[in-house]
């Protein structure tokens, strides 16, 4: 398996790891094994340097000043938007709205699209594997409007039951909101096909892309997504950065989400007229340094051959799946045929929090808990899972350390 991973991928793992300073430290006297990438990925030196340059040489507000620093900051900020546009293949940069992260992106659409287009008796379709960020904004909207939240069920593997999805779509459906990749199960959903089906009913689709954009190349035009939302901190950029991509024809029709400075054309006490895209949805001073950092993270991903990174990471996931499946007492939660990055598991008679704490003693960072996906835990009848989640800088040796440490946990509790 060692040679399989190395030969198939042709991936220079040593060079890649050297780009991420955090990875070379020790934790509890052991080399850090960072397997909590679904929560937040690490940041390469080039992104750190870009943020530092902004703070050292360019720090100022954007879109407001005529002075040198402000103009430079504005140029860098808008260049980051262009990079996002090219990275996800949006038609226009103004379709890429900077938000604080995926949560804010979904809330923006639920608030703005929802308040304009969802009415009493309408239906909002989500799935049983959604993160709370793609459940609660819709639930709140449904309560306010007297609309109904409907849920696409999943099977025992943690895959969407697509026939049920097709049955749930109807003329009352006003939006479908579904994750591209589940953060608790790792399932990759067939969103392109799901979008095509929804469009037959004239229904727009929001894709929660928090766990897809960091793990494989995406093309929003090819998917034909109406809204596509993701967080920078899961894709090698700082916290506070993130993007809501929306088709211009929808964004133009939607009212502002937040109001205040930066999003207006004219203001009198009688009436305010709004700026066009993207400013209409970017009230107040945004996370300038963080979003410039997101642009730098995209430059980094382009520089390393992101498609090759995705292939390597997927092989690593397959290797880890094989290794953990072979350990007696380990149960994998989420065994979909199409998966990315995430390996959730339980160990008989050991609470996932104890697994997480013991692994930490060996320098291994995983996440234990419900992963903000309590309905998934309810479906699998577990209170929580332990979750290892991979990035392209993880190694086969780290998977071996994980597997050995899991075996030790089992031995301790046996
Ligand atoms: N999932 C995890 O450990 P924010 O917090 O806004 O950056 O992302 C929210 C979010 C939305 N959708 C999905 C599919 C997600 O995975 C997340 C964040 C983290 O799994 C924190 S709970």
CA 245 to ligand 1 center in whole angstroms = 17
Rounded-to-integer distance, Cα 186 and Cα 159, Å: 10
Is the minimum distance from the CB of 184 to ligand 1 under 6 angstroms?
A: no
Angle between helix axes 136-145 and 102-117 (nearest 10 degrees) is 20
372 lines ligand 1 (CB under 6 A): yes
Interval between CA 328 and ligand 1 midpoint (Å): 30
Ligand 1 atom closest to the Cα of residue 39 is 3
Which protein residue has the closest C-alpha to ligand 1 atom 2?
39
202: left (phi over 0), alpha (psi -120 to 50) or beta: left
> Is 372 one of the annotated active-site residues of the chain?
yes
> Which protein residue's CA is at the shortest distance from atom 21 of ligand 1?
39
Residues constituting the chain: 414
Each residue's pLDDT tens digit, 82-95: 999 999 999 999 99
- The label of the residue with tokens 């720090």 reads 59
Ligand 1 contact, 103 CB (< 6 A): yes
Residue nearest to atom 5 of ligand 1 (CA): 103
Instruction: Let me know: does 293 contact 232? Beta carbons within 8 Å.
Output: yes
Cα–Cα–Cα angle for 136, 210, 321, rounded to 5 degrees: 110
Distances (CA, A) of 397 to 4, 45, 316, 323: 13, 23, 10, 12
Q: Where do we find the tokens 């929802």?
A: 114
Q: Which of 210, 215, 239 has most ligand 1 atoms within 8 Å of its beta carbon, as the pocket-test mutant?
A: 210
401 close to ligand 1 (CB < 6 Angstrom): no
> Measured in angstroms, how far is the CA atom of residue 210 from the centroid of ligand 1?
6
Helices (H) and strands (E) in the chain, counts: 15, 17
> From ligand 1's centre to the CA of 3, what distance in Å?
34
Helix boundaries (H) for 257-351: 288-303, 306-325
Query: What percentage of the chain has pLDDT greater than the value 90?
Result: 96
pLDDT in the model for residue 414? 79
CA–CA gap between residue 123 and residue 139 (Å, rounded): 11
Task: Establish how many alpha carbons lie within 13 A of residue 389's alpha carbon, considering only the half-sphere containing its beta carbon.
Answer: 29
Rounded to the nearest angstrom, the distance between the alpha carbon of 285 and the centre of ligand 1 is 24
Contact 280, 256 (CB under 8 A): yes
Decide: 39 in ligand 1 pocket, CB within 6 A.
Answer: yes
Output the pTM of the full model. 0.97
Cβ(210)–Cβ(234) below 8 Å: yes
CA 6 to chain centre: 27
> What pLDDT does residue 28 have?
96
Centre of ligand 1 from the C-alpha of residue 79, in Å:
26
Atom nearest to 233 CA in ligand 1:
7
Q: Do residues 175 and 191 touch, judged by C-beta distance below 8 A?
A: no
User: Three-state DSSP class for 338?
Assistant: coil
For the Cβ of 133 lying below 6 angstroms from any atom of ligand 1, the answer is yes
Residue linked to tokens 């006003």: 174
Q: What is the pLDDT of residue 2?
A: 42
Output DSSP code: residue 383.
S
Distance CA 401, CA 267 (A): 61
**Domains detected in the chain:** 13-44+305-413 (3.90.1150.10), 48-303 (3.40.640.10)
Cα–Cα distance for residue pair 196/206, rounded to 1 Å: 13
Catalytic residue among 32, 46, 161, 372: 372
CB 317 within 8 A of CB 341: yes
Q: Identify the residue whose C-alpha is closest to ligand 1 atom 16.
A: 183
**How much is the pLDDT for 68?**
95
Residue nearest to atom 19 of ligand 1 (CA): 39
Is 348 exposed, middle or buried, given 0-12, 13-18 or 19+ CB atoms closer than 10 A? Answer: exposed
| C-alpha–C-alpha distance, residues 306 and 45, integer Å | 17
Q: Whose CA is nearest to atom 8 of ligand 1?
A: 102
Sign of the alpha-carbon torsion through 106, 111, 112, 113: positive
> pLDDT tens track of the chain, all 414 residues?
343 444 446 799 999 999 999 999 999 999 999 999 999 999 999 999 999 999 999 999 998 778 999 999 999 999 999 999 999 999 999 999 999 999 999 999 999 999 999 999 999 999 999 999 999 999 999 999 999 999 999 999 999 999 999 999 999 999 999 999 999 999 999 999 999 999 999 999 999 999 999 999 999 999 999 999 999 999 999 999 999 999 999 999 999 999 999 999 999 999 999 999 999 999 999 999 999 999 999 999 999 999 999 999 999 999 999 999 999 999 999 999 999 999 999 999 999 999 999 999 999 999 999 999 999 999 999 999 999 999 999 999 999 999 999 999 999 997
Contact of 80 with 288, CB cutoff 8 Å: no
Distance 407 CA to ligand 1 centre (A): 29
């Amino acid at each position: 398996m060692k040679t399989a991973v190395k030969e198939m991928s042709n991936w220079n793992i040593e060079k890649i790891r050297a780009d991420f300073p955090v990875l070379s430290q020790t934790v509890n006297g052991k080399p850090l094994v960072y397997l909590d990438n679904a929560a937040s990925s690490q940041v390469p030196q080039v992104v750190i340097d870009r943020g530092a340059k902004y703070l050292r040489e360019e720090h100022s507000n954007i879109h407001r000043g005529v002075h040198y620093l402000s103009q430079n900051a504005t140029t860098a900020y808008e260049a980051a938007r262009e990079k996002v546009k090219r990275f996800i293949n949006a038609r226009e940069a103004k379709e890429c709205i900077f938000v604080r992260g995926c949560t804010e992106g979904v809330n923006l659409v639920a608030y703005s699209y929802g308040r304009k287009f969802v009415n009493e008796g309408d239906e909002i379709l989500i799935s049983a594997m959604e993160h709370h960020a793609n459940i609660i904004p819709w639930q709140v909207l449904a309560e306010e409007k007297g609309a109904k939240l409907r849920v696409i069920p999943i099977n025992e593997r943690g895959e969407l039951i697509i026939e049920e999805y097709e049955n749930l779509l109807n003329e009352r459906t006003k939006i479908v909101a579904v994750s591209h990749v589940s953060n608790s199960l790792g399932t990759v959903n067939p969103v392109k096909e799901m979008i095509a089906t929804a469009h037959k009913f004239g229904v727009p689709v929001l894709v929660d892309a928090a766990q897809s954009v960091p793990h494989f190349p995406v093309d929003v035009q090819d998917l034909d997504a109406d809204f596509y939302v993701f967080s920078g901190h899961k894709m090698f950029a700082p916290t506070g950065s993130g993007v809501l991509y929306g088709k211009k024809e929808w964004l133009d029709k939607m009212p502002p989400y937040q109001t205040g400075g930066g999003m207006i054309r004219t203001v009198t006490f009688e009436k305010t007229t709004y700026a066009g895209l993207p400013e209409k949805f970017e009230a107040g001073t945004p996370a300038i340094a963080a979003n410039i950092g997101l642009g730098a993270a995209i430059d980094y991903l382009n520089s390393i051959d992101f498609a090759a990174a995705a292939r390597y990471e997927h092989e690593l996931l397959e290797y880890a799946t094989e290794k953990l499946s072979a350990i007696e007492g380990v149960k994998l939660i989420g065994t979909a045929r199409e998966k990315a990055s995430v390996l959730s598991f339980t160990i008989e008679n050991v609470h996932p929090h104890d697994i997480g704490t013991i692994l930490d003693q060996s320098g291994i960072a995983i996440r234990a808990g419900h992963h903000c996906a309590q309905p998934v835990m309810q479906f699998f009848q577990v209170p929580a899972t332990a979750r290892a989640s991979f990035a392209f800088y993880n190694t086969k040796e780290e998977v071996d350390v994980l597997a050995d440490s899991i075996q030790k946990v089992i031995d301790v509790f046996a």
